[in-house]
Amino acid sequence: MTGAVFAFIGLGVFLFIIVLVLIVAGMYNGLVRGRNETKNAWAQIDVQLKRRHDLIPNLVETVKGYAKHEQGTLQSVIAARAAAVGAPTVDARIAAEGQLTQALSRLMVVTESYPDLKANQNFLGLQEELTSTENKIAFARQAYNDAAMMYNTKIETFPSNLVAGNFGFKPEPLFQVSDEKERQAPQVKF
Amino acid sequence: MWEAIESNRRRSTLLVAGMGVLLLAMGSIIGVAIVPRSGWAGGLVVAFGVWVVLWLIAKFQGDRIMLSIAGAKKIEHADAPQLFNVVEEMVLASQLGKMPDIYVIPDDRPNAFAAGRTPETRVVAVTSGLLRLMSRDELQGVIAHEIGHHKNGDPALMILMGVMLGAIVLIAEIFLRSGFHRGRRSDRDRNGGGAEVALAIFAIVLAILAPVVARILYFACSRRREYLADASAARFTRYPEGLASALEKISVQFQANHEANRVLAPMYIINPMEALAAVGMFSTHPPTENRVKILRAMGGGVGYVDYDAAYRKITGKAGCIGKRTLAADTPAQGREATHLPPVETREVVVQRSREVGNLLGRMDGLVVMTCACGVGIKVPPGSPWASIPCPRCGRDNPVPKAAEPANPGEPIVYRRQGKGWDSFQCSCGASINLSPAFQGTSKSCDRCGRTITIT
C-alpha cells in the first residue's frame, strides 16, 4: 500500500520535473534566438556602413569632374570617410559615421546647382545607391532596435527573467538617435 | 518578431483546421452515400488522397507555373537598381533573412504579389505598370506589404487553404455530376432503404453547401492576412502614408482586369477582379478605400497596436491582430506624413517610364539604342537591317553588331561602347545586353552558343 503511494508520488515528481525542464528549455531557446537576432541585426548595420565607405571614392570622382568649385565639400567627405574607416573605438566610429552622414548630405545639396551633373547617368546611379545605403543603415538600426527591445523585454519580465539570470543573458544597449530629425526620418531624400 | 507572428498564425490555424474538418467530413459522408459498405473511413481516405495529390502539385510547381503564366522575368540589381534596393531595404527592416527572387511582369496595370512557401523559393513580383507609376516611397510601401506577407508566412498558408478549397470543390462537383445517379439506382435496388435515401439527400446538401462554406473560410482568411500585411508594412517602413498613397494610386489607375486568372487573384496586392467593387464575404481583399483610411488613421504611430486601434476606429469591428502580437509590440514612431501627393516633376515620371520601357525591351531580348537626338530605338532580335533611320530626325543609326571573324576558328569580338547598358547583336542575329555591372571579358550567345570576346 505505502509502496504504491510512494511510487505514485515518485511518478508525479518525475513528470513535474520533466515538464519543468521542457519549459525552461523552451525559454532558454527563445532567449538564444532573441540574442542571435540582435547580433545579426547589429552585424547588418556594419555591412551597410562598409558599403557606404565603398561608394564614396566613386562618388567623389564623379562629382569632381563637374563641380570643380566644391573642393571644400568634397574634402570634408573624404576626411570624414577616412576618420570613420580608421576609428580606433566604437564610440569614435559612431561619431565619425555621424560626421560622414552630415558631410554627404551637404555634398548632395551642393550638387543640386549643377544640372550637367544631375543629368549624368553614372551620377544618377550613384545617387540611387547612396540614397538606398542611407536607408539601409537606418532600417538596419531600426531592425536592431526592434530585436534588442524584444530581447531585453524577455530578459526583464517574469518568468523568462529567472532563466535569463541563471544563464547569464545580458540586455543589449539600444541605438540612441542623437539627432531628433534623424529619429523621424529613416529615409534620406536628396 | 518571431513570436509576434505566432498569435496570428494560431487564429489562421483555426480556419485551416475548420477547412480540413469540412473536407474530411464531406468526403466521409459522400463516401458512405455512394458505397454504403465502405463505412465512414472509405470516403475520408479518398478525400485525403485528393488533397495530398493537389498539395503535391502545388508544392512542386505552383509558384513557377504562376510566374510563367504571367510572363514574369527574374531581375538582378543591374536591371532595375531602385526596385532591387527597395526590396533589400525591406528585407533588412523586416529581418526576413534571405533575399527573395525579384520578378518583373510585363503588364501596364500596377500590381504586385508575393509567392513561395520556403525561404529558398520566395518570390516578390511587380508589374511594369507599378514601376512606372510609383514614387520611391510608394514602391517601398508596396514592397513592404509583400515582404510582410512573407514575414507572416502567408504564401504557404494561402496555398494550403487554396488546395483544401480546391479539393472540396473538386469532390463536390464530381459527386453532384456522377454520384447522384448511382445513389438513386441503389434505392431502387434495395427497395425502401429509408435511412439511405436520407443519407443520400444529406450528402447532396452537403456537397452543395461545403464549397460555399469553404469559400467563405478561404476569403475570410485571405482578408485577415491583407490587413496584417498592411500593418507589417507600416511597421517596417515607419511610414504608413507610402502604402496608403500607393493603394490610392493603384485603385484609381485600375481598370477591371478580366484576363487575370481567378486562382491568382488572392495573391495580388489588390484583387484584379474587383478593384473598386463592393466587398462582401466572397472577396479575397478588403476594400481598398478602408485600407487607405486605416493607414491614415494611425495617428503618427506605426506599431501593430496603432494599426489595430485605427482598424477598430474605421471599421467599427473588433481588432484584426492577435493578442500576443499586440502584447509583444514595441512602441515605434513614424515619419511625418505629408498629405499632399509626393512632388513628382514631369521629367522624373518620363525618366522612370523610359527606364521601365528599356527594362522591358531588354527582358524581351531587344537591342536598345539611343539616337543622337534622344529618341530610343528598339530593334527586335534577328532583325535583318544593318541600320535604322531615326523616326524623328532621320539620322541613320547602325545597329551595333559583333562582326563575324575573318577565319572560322577565331572568336567573335565586340568592342564595348561605354560603361552603361550596352546592346548589340551577335553575328547570328540574336540580341545580347550587357548591364552596367558587367565586368567579364566574354559572353556566350544564347542562340548560337558561340563565345563572344568583349573588349
- Determine contact: A125 vs chain B, CB below 8 A: yes
Domain identity same for B33 and B141 = yes
Q: How many CB atoms lie within 10 A of CB B161?
A: 24
Task: For residue range B156-201, list pLDDT tens digits in order.
Answer: 888 888 888 888 988 888 888 875 545 555 444 555 567 778 888 8
B1 touches chain A (CB under 8 A): yes
CATH of the domain at A158: 1.20.1440.20
State residue B301 phi and psi, 5-degree precision: -80, 155
- Cβ–Cβ of B335/A186 closer than 8 Å? yes
Three-state helix/strand/coil letters over chain B: CHHHHHHHHHHHHHHHHHHHHHHHHHHHHHHHHHCHHHHHHHHHHHHHHHHHHHHHHHHHHHHHHHHHHHCCEEECCCCCHHHHHHHHHHHHHHCCCCCCEEEEECCCCCCEEEECCCHHHCEEEEEHHHHHHCCHHHHHHHHHHHHHHHHCCHHHHHHHHHHHHHHHHHHHHHHHHHHHHHHHHHHHHHCCCHHHHHHHHHHHHHHHHHHHHHHHHHHHHHHHHHHHHHHHHHHHHCCHHHHHHHHHHHHHHCCCCCCCCCCCHHHECCCCCCCCCCCCCCCCCCCHHHHHHHHHCCCCECCHHHHHHHHHHHHCCCCCCCHHHHHHCCCCECCCCCCCCCCCCHHHHHHHHHHHHHHHHHHCCCEEEECCCCCEEEECCCCCCCEEECCCCCCEEECCECECCCCCCCCEEECCCCCCCEEEECCCCCEEEECCCCCCCEEECCCCCCEEEEC
Q: Nearest CB to A136: which of B89, B95, B330?
A: B89
Q: What is the pLDDT of residue B418?
A: 67
3-state secondary structure of A56: helix
Cα–Cα distance between A34 and B247 in angstroms, integer? 34
Task: From B21, B215, B187, select the one nearest B29 (Cα to Cα).
Answer: B21
- Could you list the residue range(s) of the whole structural domain that residue A36 is in? 2-184
Q: What is the pTM of this model?
A: 0.80
A175 touches chain B (CB under 8 A): no
Of B2, B95, B237, the CB nearest to A143: B95
Indicate the number of domains in chain A: 1
ipTM: 0.81
Interface contact B324, partner A, CB < 8 A: no
Give yes or no for a contact between A118 and A16, defined as CB atoms under 8 angstroms apart. Answer: no
Does any CB of chain B come closer than 8 Å to the CB of residue A113?
Answer: no
Same domain, B300 and B386: no
| Same domain for B137 and B105 | yes
Evaluate whether residue A190 is within a structural domain: no
pLDDT value, residue B146: 94
Please list every residue in chain A whose beta carbon sits closer than 8 Å to the beta carbon of residue B95: 37, 40-41, 143, 146-147
Query: Same domain, yes or no, for B432 and B404?
Result: yes
Chain A to chain B, count of Cβ pairs less than 8 Å apart? 70
The number of beta carbons lying within 10 Å of the beta carbon of residue A187 is: 19
pLDDT at B139 over 90: yes
Pair (B160, B175) in one structural domain: yes
Note whether residue A177 is domain-resident.
Answer: yes
Residue A189 lies in a domain: no
Q: What's the confidence (pLDDT) of residue B257?
A: 47
B347 and B370 in one domain? no
Q: Is B355 on the interface with A (CB under 8 A)?
A: no
Please check whether residues B259 and B221 belong to one and the same domain.
yes
Tell me: cis bond preceding B272? Omega within 30 of 0 counts: no
Distance, in Å, from the CA atom of B287 to the CA atom of B294, rounded to the nearest integer, reads 11
Q: Which of B310, B344, B364 is the last residue of a domain?
A: B364
Choice among A80-89, B97-106, B438-447 with the minimum mean pLDDT = B438-447
- Contact list, A149 vs chain B (CB under 8 Å): 330
Q: Are residues B141 and B14 in the same domain?
A: yes
Q: Does B38 touch chain A (CB under 8 A)?
A: no
Number of folded domains in chain B?
Answer: 2
| Residues of B designated as active site | 146
Are B371 and B246 part of one and the same domain? no
Does residue B126 share a domain with residue B4?
yes
Which residue, among A114, A110, A100, A99, has the nearest Cα to A73 in the 3D structure? A110
Residues B312, B436 share a domain: no
On the question of pLDDT at A149 being above 50, the answer is yes
- Of residues A183 and B328, more confidence is placed in B328
Q: Between vectors from CA B288 to CA B285 and to CA B290, what angle results, nearest 5°?
A: 105
Q: Which residues pair with B444 in a beta bridge?
A: B451
Of B330, B333, B335, the CB nearest to A187: B335
Which residue does chain A place closest to B242, by CA atoms?
A: A187
% of chain B beyond a pLDDT of 90: 11
Q: How far apart are alpha carbons B311 and B128 in whole angstroms?
A: 31
Residue B193: the pLDDT is 66
Give the whole-angstrom CA distance, residue A140 versus residue A84. Answer: 18
Mean of the pLDDT values across residues B237-247?
Answer: 91
Are the CB atoms for B67 and B125 separated by under 8 Å?
yes
CB atoms A147 and B92 under 8 Å = no
pLDDT at B283: 57
CA-nearest of B254, B273, B417, B242 to B337 is: B242
Which one of B327, B342, B364 terminates a domain? B364
* Residue bearing the bigger pLDDT, B62 or A183: B62
Same domain, B79 and B95: yes
Cβ within 8 Å, pair B330-A149: yes
Distance CA A81, CA A54 (A): 10
Q: Specify the range with the lowest mean pLDDT, choosing from A43-47, B145-149, B286-290, B323-327.
A: B323-327
**C-alpha to C-alpha distance for B196 and B35, rounded to whole angstroms:** 10
Q: CB A125 to CB B238 under 8 A?
A: no
Domain that holds residue B384: 365-454
